[in-house]
Amino acid sequence: MPDEQQLPELLEIAKQAALAAGAVVMDIYDSGSFKSYQKDDESPVTSADYKANDIITDHLTRLTPNIPIMSEEMANAKLAERQHWQRYWLIDPIDGTQEFIARSGDFAVNIALIENNQPAIGVIYWPPGKSLYYASKGAGAFKDCAAGSHPIQVRKLDDPENSVVMIAVSRRQDRDKVMSKMSSHRVYDALPLGSCSLKSCFIAEGKADVFLRIGVTGEWDTGASQCIVSEAGGKIVAANFEPLTYNERQSLINPDFVVTGDQRVNWEQIVHYHQSGE
């Protein structure tokens, strides 16, 4: 029965959905033939987002008909209905729509499976980089790319108490505002990227150590990333270091959040967001 499907099978289904959507999105990106719109919250969306959403939801509905779906590009159920879901798919058809429009290449397809209000599967496909990041609860995190398939993990610092850490900085975010919330003697910045999920993946594979997101995001922006980062040895929490929640509030908007690598580091001494009163 579909509702008895186990995580390994569901992970393969999610991977295939992400790859199929990513291939079409990349074709659209290469052709430049897409339309841009502005949503009610003034964030951008394109015809490519909608096409990717259709591909993913059709794939998941066909192969997992008993598992509900929530997506950034859908009218989602009210809390009174969805609070009873024990598992559901959570998707962001294109994370980094602004980067897609700007042609920076920093966009990705995100698919998560949430079980009992926590991410149990995470799949993130980066079409321009031909890289597939994925994880399932308790089974580790992996990356498939041109070099092959291999497990990934966060970077282990030589000296967790004193080593300088690398921060991933959003290309379209106020860099000074982010850096003002960091311990200046412990952080240096590099790796400017657009997509939240790609920055999280880079932390999961050890290319950066911390990422602070200040600004509006939805639960679909962190679901897949949280599973991958956690299985790679890192963590995603709210910027005040409280846990993120899934499907527990009427609003699907996230608080500001922080992605951290090596958990031997006392990140609360480095990220001072919670001391700012914001």
Q: Which long-range contacts (CB under 8 A, 24 or more apart) does 115-119 make?
A: 115/86, 115/87, 116/86, 116/87, 117/245, 117/246, 117/247, 117/248, 118/246, 119/90, 119/223, 119/224, 119/226, 119/227, 119/230, 119/246
The mean pLDDT value of the chain amounts to 92
Task: Give the contacts of 265 (CB within 8 A, at least 6 positions apart).
Answer: 157, 160, 161, 165, 209
From 252, 224, 247, select the one nearest 236 (Cα to Cα): 224
Domain ranges across the chain: 2-152, 165-275
d(CA 151, CA 166): 21
pLDDT the model gives residue 209: 96
Instruction: Looking at the structure, give the CATH architecture of the domain made up of residues 2-152.
Output: 2-Layer Sandwich (3.30)
Name the stretches of the chain with pLDDT < 50.
1-2, 275-278
Output the pLDDT for position 43: 86
Class of CATH domain 165-275:
alpha beta
pLDDT value at position 3?
54
Amino acid 277: pLDDT: 40
Q: Which pLDDT value is given to residue 195?
A: 86
What pLDDT digit, counting tens, does each position of 135-166 carry? 999 999 999 999 999 999 999 999 999 999 99
Q: What is the pLDDT of residue 188?
A: 78
- Tally the C-alpha atoms within 13 A of residue 144's C-alpha that lie toward its C-beta: 12
> Does 165-275 match 2-152 at the fold level?
no
User: What pLDDT sits at residue 274?
Assistant: 59
Structure confidence at residue 218 (pLDDT): 95
Please name every residue paired with 126 in a beta bridge, in sequence order, or none if there are none. 131
Per DSSP bridges, beta strands 87-95 and 69-71 are: parallel
pTM summary value: 0.94
Q: What is the pLDDT of residue 191?
A: 65
- Amino acid 2: pLDDT: 41
Between CA 216 and CA 106 the distance in angstroms is 18
